[in-house]
Structure 1
Amino acid sequence: MESTKDLKLAVLIDADNVPYSNIKGMLAEIAKYGTPTFKRIYGDWTKPTLSGWKTVLLESAITPIQQYAYTSGKNATDSALIIDAMDILYTGNVDGFCIISSDSDFTRLATRLREAGKQVFGMGERKTPKSFIAACNKFIYIEILQKEVPVVEEVVKPVKRAKKAKKQDDEFTSLHKLITGSISDLAEEDGWVFLGVLGNLILKKQPDFDSRNFGHKKLLDLIKTIPGIEIEERPSGKNNISHFYVKNK
């Protein structure tokens, strides 16, 4: 993906559909992609279910937007967020948006913002519907931002263990096809592909792709674990920086 460090971002948070437990981790992740110029969170702050958010908003400099639920069964919070997003879009003061929610209601919003030429970063839990994920340039799962906790060893029944192993095998097969297929799509006559270009294509194909989902901080580290892929390091000639290229064997 192209450099996004200088992007001005509007960070809009749906308090009803994301946990407040790791807001610092979320903001630290957003900082990798740009600088937040708007930080707003939407919800009915009279509800006791949102009380946990109130303690973290001040220290994170997030502006709470009060939105009463006027009608039972209707999500007024979503409407308020969408209206604000469109207002910000038309002012032309940002380069992109970060929508933090696990709700599919923002699918059309994300699509509309991208149609206007804006970068859209999504952030939510793994339960987030695929439609919203696909509408974003990149989607980050909140779970991978949470601090690791000690795993308590438990006795797993053989059937449960077998199901878990099959799921892992299926995920690895899909990952292998995604990466090797993308290399084939981009390969020059000699078969080599620049790693940065490969990462861009993978994100276009699968916006929720993140090497951290597979236990690796960088794409290069993940590729090193995949059989059938060659890696070549080439000096760039500038400041002793190396570029990495990959190739299907």
Structure 2
Amino acid sequence: MNQEMKLAVLIDAENISTKYIDVILSEANNLGDVIYKRIYGNWTTPQMASWRTTILNNAIQPIQQYSNTTGKNSTDSALIIDTMDLLYQSNLDGFCIVSSDSDFTRLASRLRESQKYVLGMGESKTPRSFISACNKFLYLDVLLEEAENEADTETTDAAKPAIIDDTPPVISPVTEEPVKSEKTSGKNFRTIRQALVKITEENSDDNGWIFSGTLGNLLNKQFSDFDVRNFGFKKFVPFIESLDMFEVNTITDDKNKTVKHNYFKLKPVHRHHYTHSSRSRKRQSKV
């Protein structure tokens, strides 16, 4: 993704906790240049007081929205109207909508219809409709847990004496856990494995090889909430290698020896499994 992409970060304060702010801004800054940082809520209520220091420290513009009717979330309307104003009055390339509320589903779809990139962020409880409407969706609770675990590890390692270990690192395969999420979720390990097989079969070359970048892009298009960090990894290639499903061919770039291109090919057992399943479905459809 172009690091010069111009972005607006729009936060639903009544739906998101202050503890996620570092993760939110870090992910947005990784995507591009954050031009607008706005947060929406009724700042006259006591429960919003926890945001005060966070807003000041991170130079976020608070937008006041009174609750005109009991039981109605007028903050959502304010965020939506503001977003549409920015869409027509600015030259932004993308919008980061931070909320776990399905009310922003149509907004995300509308922004994409205008060819704007939409990054969604929310907790794992976020409805599938909003997740699917975004180009990319990140689970804040997953990312925060990962950041906290890293901090704990660094603290523990700093307290240990230095030990020199020349043993090469071993990549442990991802263990499949019971499926708790929806079958369409990018957090569902079994679903991602099946999708990788299907994508590779349909998009590999005549010899069965597919470029890692192509595989990753097609997987992200199919699952907006797919992120290797959902499974404890930081990069795509180590995650794929851990599945023990693919043969790997790494080619060093002729012009730049520091650049390596990775290609994957399904191992025979996985190719046979997919082909057999596909044929079975075709036979059943003919009956």
Larger Rg computed on CA atoms:
2
Identity %: 49
Q: In the aligned structure 2, how far is the partner of 1:86 from the partner of 1:32? A: 24
Q: In the aligned structure 2, how far is the partner of 1:246 from the partner of 1:60? A: 42
The secondary structure found in structure 1 opposite 2:31 is coil
- The answer (yes or no) to whether the contact 1:233–1:244 under 8 Å persists in 2 is yes
1:159-182, Cα deviation, whole Å (9 max, x unpaired):
xxxxx95338x9432221022222
Q: In the aligned structure 2, how far is the partner of 1:98 from the partner of 1:165? A: 31
Match of 1:180 in 2: 197
Deviates more, 1:19-28 or 1:93-102: 19-28
Match of 1:167 in 2: 179
Match of 2:161 in 1: none
Match of 2:60 in 1: 62
Q: Which amino acid aligns with 1:166?
A: P
Aligned partner (choices 50, 53, 73) of residue 52 of structure 1: 50
Match of 1:248 in 2: 266
Match of 1:161 in 2: none
* CA distance 1:102–1:67, shift in 2 (3 Å): same
- The answer (yes or no) to whether the contact 2:179–2:190 under 8 Å persists in 1 is no
Match of 1:83 in 2: 81
Q: Do residues 195 (structure 1) and 218 (structure 2) align?
A: no
Q: Do residues 238 (structure 1) and 255 (structure 2) align?
A: yes
Q: TM-score, normalised by structure 1?
A: 0.89
Q: In the aligned structure 1, how far is the partner of 2:33 from the partner of 2:128? A: 27
Match of 2:159 in 1: none
- The answer (yes or no) to whether the contact 1:26–1:145 under 8 Å persists in 2 is no
Q: Which amino acid aligns with 1:102?
A: S
Q: Report the CA distance between 1:92 and its aligned residue.
A: 3.6
Deviates more, 1:202-211 or 1:21-30: 21-30
Aligned partner (choices 6, 22, 26) of residue 8 of structure 1: 6
The secondary structure found in structure 2 opposite 1:46 is coil
Q: Report the CA distance between 1:194 and its aligned residue.
A: 1.1
Q: In the aligned structure 2, how far is the partner of 1:195 from the partner of 1:108? A: 32
The secondary structure found in structure 1 opposite 2:70 is coil
Aligned partner (choices 99, 110, 113) of residue 112 of structure 1: 110
Match of 1:156 in 2: none
Q: TM-score, normalised by structure 2?
A: 0.78
Q: In the aligned structure 2, how far is the partner of 1:222 from the partner of 1:41? A: 35
Match of 1:148 in 2: 148
Q: In the aligned structure 2, how far is the partner of 1:143 from the partner of 1:179? A: 25
Q: Which amino acid aligns with 1:245?
A: Y
Q: In the aligned structure 2, how far is the partner of 1:24 from the partner of 1:228? A: 35
* CA distance 1:95–1:165, shift in 2 (3 Å): closer
Match of 1:30 in 2: 28
1:11-60, Cα deviation, whole Å (9 max, x unpaired):
10000111111311210111111111010000001111111111111111
Number of aligned residue pairs: 234
Q: In the aligned structure 2, how far is the partner of 1:165 from the partner of 1:191? A: 29
> Which of the pair has the greater relative contact order for Cα pairs under 8 Å at 6+ separation?
1
**Unpaired segments of 5 or more residues in structure 1?**
151-163
Q: Report the CA distance between 1:227 and its aligned residue.
A: 2.3
1:197-224, Cα deviation, whole Å (9 max, x unpaired):
1111111111000000001111111111
Match of 1:74 in 2: 72
Q: In the aligned structure 2, how far is the partner of 1:165 from the partner of 1:203? A: 21
Q: In the aligned structure 1, how far is the partner of 2:3 from the partner of 2:225? A: 20
Aligned partner (choices 128, 132, 135) of residue 133 of structure 2: 135
